[in-house]
Amino acid sequence: MSLRELYKCLRRRAFKDEPFPSDDEVAEASRKYSGMTMNERLYFAGLVDRWDAAFRSRDREAMLRICAQAGIAEGPTGRSWIVDTALANPEKYGF
């Protein structure tokens, strides 16, 4: 098993029991972080390290969960768009 595969496995184990935020929790986080960029939301929510780890392991589900925790709703330019755009061009985002 490569180091990358091991890292991916560990990340999945770390996130597997964590529930996806409810719509009410996403709405509350959205109000709390209103007007902030994605990076600002991640920073103030204490999610930067988790985002980076999920991004490095290309764990789309974990990235979607983290976006929801930062108050990013679904929509045309919502969390799926953010995650898919980032994963399509990781070099642009430093990964």
pLDDT at res. 76: 84
Q: Return d(Cα 14, Cα 33) in angstroms, integer.
A: 25
Residue 11, token pair as written in the block: 């990340």
pLDDT, tens only, 42-78: 999 999 999 999 999 999 999 999 999 999 998 888 8
pLDDT, tens only, 3-40: 766 666 565 555 556 788 999 999 999 999 999 999 99
Q: Return d(Cα 13, Cα 49) in angstroms, integer.
A: 16
Q: Return d(Cα 71, Cα 34) in angstroms, integer.
A: 8
Nearest to 67 by CA among 87, 45, 88: 45
Residue 38, token pair as written in the block: 């994605």
Residue 70, token pair as written in the block: 């930062």
